[in-house]
A and B are shown apart, each in its own frame.
Chain A
Amino acid sequence: MPSRETRTSIIFAGPTSDALVQSMEQPSCAVRTLYDAIGELVTSDATTLVEAVVIDDMLLEKNGEQHIDAIRRVDPTSIIVVRGSHAKNTGADASVPYDCNERILTSAIANALSKPIDANQNEETEKDLDEILGLVDAVDYVQETTNLGDTDLVRALMHSPSSFKEVLLRLLQQQTKWSYCSILNDTQSAPADSITAPLRYGHEEHGFLAATGATSDDITRWARWTACWLNLARKQRQLKLLAYKDELSGAWNRRFLRTCLTKELQIAKNQRRPLTIMIFDIDDFKHYNDKWGHDAGDEIIREVVKLLQSIIRKGDHVCRIGGDEFAVLFCDPTPPREPGSNHPTTVEILARRFREQVSKARFPKLGEEATGSLSISGGLATFPWDASDVDSLVEKADQRLYKSKRLGKNSITIGREE
């Protein structure tokens, strides 16, 4: 897949003023429907690669998420910009006013391009880390609602981090008797009858504390106390991420895979759902490291993870489990995903697409002659057909990875023939 920097053209979908299309410096085309936009994306050739799809929000009134999903399936890296006021919750990369000009649109696309592909996904997984790993279930935790104290905050932090802020505010209200209090990102959203104080701990910012019925002294004192707890929660989350993330690639690490797979396997058993793991490595990775140096090798690792994260579904996890060895856990935690869909087939399609995308990818540090020369070999194993415990499932996927290697590399062995 070409890197984003090489993309040049823009597709406008929906009613668009000719003036805007013509004012674009990049080659642009306007189509009537999103179906046509997808057709344009697929038929665009190497000289007119698509950088962005600009969609009139009118086209997203019904099933907006599916429409965005459809574009991402066909081209995971083109930027999706929604024109108009109904851009929220569609999953688009950027939004612009309906009457925007060329400068605003170009700037929105440039901003979206500068974000990492998986920015939103990371935010979400960080938030739900404890739930993904099942750490919150480790202790039977019952949340108190009255007579709260510091111990309840510590317990919430340990066993239910997602409800920590809620417990913190409840305790604050019980202690102060304020009629309202809230933690806000900015002071503008505070109610008119409230006063606010910044939540700062050292150099760390945590937003603002807003309260109704508080004196200025009161709120300053309690804001310091609240910031201290918020900082502790943030540090704890950062430490957890350090323990479970791979620093180089930003993917999850081997520890995460083991913990998450154990938990997901139990869920799959309880809900009688299949669970698939794909293990793959980059063919002849040592050769790339030796020939172009470790910097180039590191870039390959990072790009492969980015590419993979742009292809997998929400709920799937990418892990780096060795030097150039990766695992993808196809979890998809929202059953039933599509009652008619066949889980292993869907996963096979994702795996196949990923292999194809890697083989087309460009890695600038390897020079022009290396374009399209990268390939991967992998193996897929699915519970319940291939194994029913963590070790056997990983081993099965590993065996198939080596089978792919023996068969001449650049392939993914699924294992149905066995």
Chain B
Amino acid sequence: MPLNTNNLPTRCVVLVPLNRIDTAEHVASKYELEIIIEHHAILAMAEICLLHQEATSKQAWNSEARTIQLVLVHAQELDGLPELLAAVRSYLPSVRIVELRDGQLEEVENHGAIIDALDDLPVIHTENVDADELSMLLDTPEGEVEE
């Protein structure tokens, strides 16, 4: 997947368990990433926020902003991952979230968005149904209902 849209190295926060650092360093070298390594999801959130702030400030001065990514390397083993992903998507939607899968970095699908969309279910107001109508509807044998 293309990681970079300009010639500057992509700046990343890599969330990786302590015992998987070698993998994270290998990924950084393979994809030419400028990385900040964190082993706690909450500290990764803080670092990604700071990178985002810096990028926003640079953009305001018309400097070329670098792509910012949150890279997950075996991050499922760490606490707080769902909360981290939800917060990044909610507050920093421009940050790309990628994950190491079978040696390749792939964008993490936003399954959470579908669930979020169900948070506020639409309320449909219908006309009142009286007791006779209800009884008729319930007693109608299957197959006899007219569409």
- A residues near B (Cβ < 8 Å) are 33-36, 38-43, 62-63, 66-67, 69-71, 73-74, 338-341, 345, 349, 352-353, 356
Interface majority SS on B: helix, strand, loop or mixed? helix
Q: Is the CB of B83 within 8 A of A42?
A: no
Q: Does B8 contact A (CB under 8 A)?
A: no
Q: Is the CB of B42 within 8 A of A35?
A: yes
Interface majority SS on A: helix, strand, loop or mixed? helix
Contact of A340 among B16, B50, B52, B84 (CB under 8 A): B16
Q: Does B92 contact A (CB under 8 A)?
A: yes
- B residues near A (Cβ < 8 Å) are 16, 18, 21, 24-25, 36-37, 39-43, 45-47, 49-50, 52-54, 57, 79-80, 83-84, 86-88, 90-92
On chain A, the residues within 8 Å of B40 by CB distance are: 63, 66, 70
Among residues of B, the one whose C-beta sits closest to the C-beta of A360 is B57
On chain A, the residues within 8 Å of B88 by CB distance are: 35, 39
A43–B48 CA distance with the chains assembled, in angstroms? 13
Task: How many A-B residue pairs have C-beta atoms within 8 angstroms? Tell me.
Answer: 81
Contact of A38 among B36, B49, B57 (CB under 8 A): B49
> How far, in Å, is A169 (CB) from chain B's closest CB?
40
A114–B141 CA distance with the chains assembled, in angstroms? 76
Contact of B18 among A70, A339, A353 (CB under 8 A): A339
Given contact pairs A33-B83, A35-B87, A340 touches B25 in the complex (Cβ within 8 A): yes
A256–B134 CA distance with the chains assembled, in angstroms? 88
On chain A, the residues within 8 Å of B79 by CB distance are: 62-63
A339–B19 CA distance with the chains assembled, in angstroms? 10
Q: Is the CB of A74 within 8 A of B46?
A: yes
Q: Is the CB of A353 within 8 A of B42?
A: no
On chain B, the residues within 8 Å of A74 by CB distance are: 46, 49-50
- Would you give 7 A-B contacts (Cβ < 8 Å), ordered by A? A35-B42, A35-B87, A36-B86, A38-B42, A43-B91, A62-B79, A70-B42
> How far, in Å, is A29 (CB) from chain B's closest CB?
13
Given contacts A70-B40, A70-B42, 12 further A-B contacts (CB under 8 A): A33-B83, A35-B86, A38-B49, A38-B87, A39-B45, A39-B91, A42-B91, A66-B43, A69-B43, A340-B18, A340-B39, A345-B36
On chain A, the residues within 8 Å of B46 by CB distance are: 38, 69-71, 73-74
A38–B40 CA distance with the chains assembled, in angstroms? 14
